[in-house]
Structure 1
Amino acid sequence: MNRVVLGLSYDGHDFEGWQTQPHGRTVQDRLSKAIEAIAHDTVSIVCAGRTDTGVHARQQVVHFDSAVERPLTAWVKGVNNGLPPTISVKGAKLLDPEFHARFSAVSRTYRYYFYSSPVRDPFKRFMTWVHYPLDLQAMRSASACLLGTHDFSAFRASQCQAASPVRTLHAMNLFEETDHCYFEIQGNAFLHHMVRNLMGSLMEVGLGRQPVNWLKQVLESKNRSLAAKTYPAQGLSLWKIEYPEQYGIQDLFS
């Protein structure tokens, strides 16, 4: 069996998340059909991180096993021929069976894009619109308490299936561009809706509705009902999956 590893990018607007569903309107469903057309067999695809409905991926990594011999170009161009324009295989490689798209990853990086403006901009469809001005420095200060290892139950969706709510955030930075901003968040793993729930609470601070130290109190409470609402999906992108250098995963996206 060959372990085939693919690097993907996709626009999540038209999909109900990554994971396969009976109705077939997911990224995994569309990718499986395109791969099976090349493999002439069924495949079981494993991804680095499952994205929710409407969430995008700049760098998603998947693997599957296949007994057929195909040139790497078939796993890229051939599979892309069977995909909609909103999903693209960026690269392919063969790796030893010890590689696992999910369990070999050492960290994951998400970005949440947003902009503040009196009116909505239709060209910013990958960002979340905030009607009122934001205190970005207050948001930076509030986010500092999230770094490190914590119980993130206060920012965990009720349907989350993770065995433990404990996660480690390695970095969380707010960047300002000319007409938009984004948080870049790197962690070992993330709970269901965790980033969007964090953004909802950070926005409460940025809008002046809550003080800077409120976020730390919510985190320590481990109580989801004390945190703010889940923020929209369109601003969130799975930005990068980090692996040990020996696997050369970044080559898939170069």
Structure 2
Amino acid sequence: MQNIKLMIAYDGSRYYGWQRLGNNEQTIQGKIENVLSKMLNENIELIGSGRTDGGVHARGQVANFKTSTSVKPQEIIEYCYQYLPGDIAVYDAEIVDDHFHARYNAKRKQYIYQIDNGLIHNVFERKYRYHVPQPLDIDKMKKASSYLIGEHDFRSFTNLKSKKKSTVRTISKIDFIQKDTYIDISFEGNGFLYNMVRIITGTLIEVGLNKILPEDVKAILGKKERPLAGPNVPPHGLFLQKVTY
């Protein structure tokens, strides 16, 4: 039995997200599993490092699966390149220890949310950047983001319905990368809740638009009430950038 680790990139625009949904093939996991199952003539079940929502992209998704075949990693890369749709790519594969688990062994994840802050949006980037035409005060957004660093209960910043699951997470770093009218916000942490990055981004944008004060973010965090935080910005600007083990 071999345990194979995959590195995957995808444009999530036309998919319902990473996770397979019953017989629905419009998921990233479903597409890759179908191709691998045909290649290896056995039922392949992928384990992803985490779920990405519908419309969210990935540059560095990690997954693993086990197979009873003696397939070589390069053969997997070549076969997937031939039979996967052009918006999904397996760009690396390797045989790993039998105990490797893409989700449970992940220590840190990095997400990037991409914003176009120009008065007129870039038509070639419109599918991958959220357009905010009003000027954003980045210094205020940076100050607001500082209140989110560390271990906190992020109940205010998730659309998770369950009250039983823990909403405590640790954000180790939030960086702002500016180039011309482009603003990329990078989030690094030990894990992220459902819609967490998009809601935090929406809240930081409200700070940047002077709709709320940077200090308000600290209060929103402490009150643990979702309606107090900003909007859930669209998924098309979000990328799973990297998973660290």
So what's the TM-score if we normalise by structure 2?
Answer: 0.96
Shift of residue 81, structure 1, vs aligned partner:
1.4
2:209 corresponds to 1:222: no
Shift of residue 115, structure 1, vs aligned partner:
1.5
How far, CA to CA, are the matches of 2:74 and 2:99 in structure 1?
Answer: 23
Residue equivalent to 2:51: 50
Shift of residue 72, structure 1, vs aligned partner:
1.5
| Amino acid in the other structure paired with 1:99 | F
Judge conservation of contact 2:112–2:184 (CA < 8 Å) in 1. yes
Residue equivalent to 2:197: 195
How far, CA to CA, are the matches of 2:25 and 2:49 in structure 1?
Answer: 20
Query: Aligned with 2:13: secondary structure?
Result: helix
So what's the TM-score if we normalise by structure 1?
Answer: 0.93
Residue equivalent to 1:7: 7
How far, CA to CA, are the matches of 1:74 and 1:160 in structure 2?
Answer: 42
Residue equivalent to 1:65: 66
The 3 A distance-change label for structure 1 pair 91 and 162 is farther
How far, CA to CA, are the matches of 2:80 and 2:169 in structure 1?
Answer: 35
| Amino acid in the other structure paired with 2:199 | N
Judge conservation of contact 1:160–1:191 (CA < 8 Å) in 2. no
The 3 A distance-change label for structure 1 pair 175 and 77 is same
How far, CA to CA, are the matches of 1:27 and 1:156 in structure 2?
Answer: 23
| Amino acid in the other structure paired with 1:210 | I
2:239 corresponds to 1:240: no
2:121 corresponds to 1:120: yes
Q: Extract unaligned runs of 5+ from structure 1.
A: 244-254
Q: Extract unaligned runs of 5+ from structure 2.
A: none
Residue equivalent to 1:144: 146
Judge conservation of contact 1:34–1:80 (CA < 8 Å) in 2. no
Judge conservation of contact 2:112–2:187 (CA < 8 Å) in 1. yes
Identity, % of aligned positions: 32
Shift of residue 179, structure 1, vs aligned partner:
2.8
Moved over 6 A (4+): none
Query: Aligned with 2:80: secondary structure?
Result: helix
The size of the alignment, in residue pairs, is 243
RMSD: 1.2
2:101 corresponds to 1:100: yes
| Amino acid in the other structure paired with 1:50 | R
Shift of residue 68, structure 1, vs aligned partner:
0.7
Correspondence list, 1:33-48, <5 A = 33-48=34-49
How far, CA to CA, are the matches of 2:164 and 2:217 in structure 1?
Answer: 23
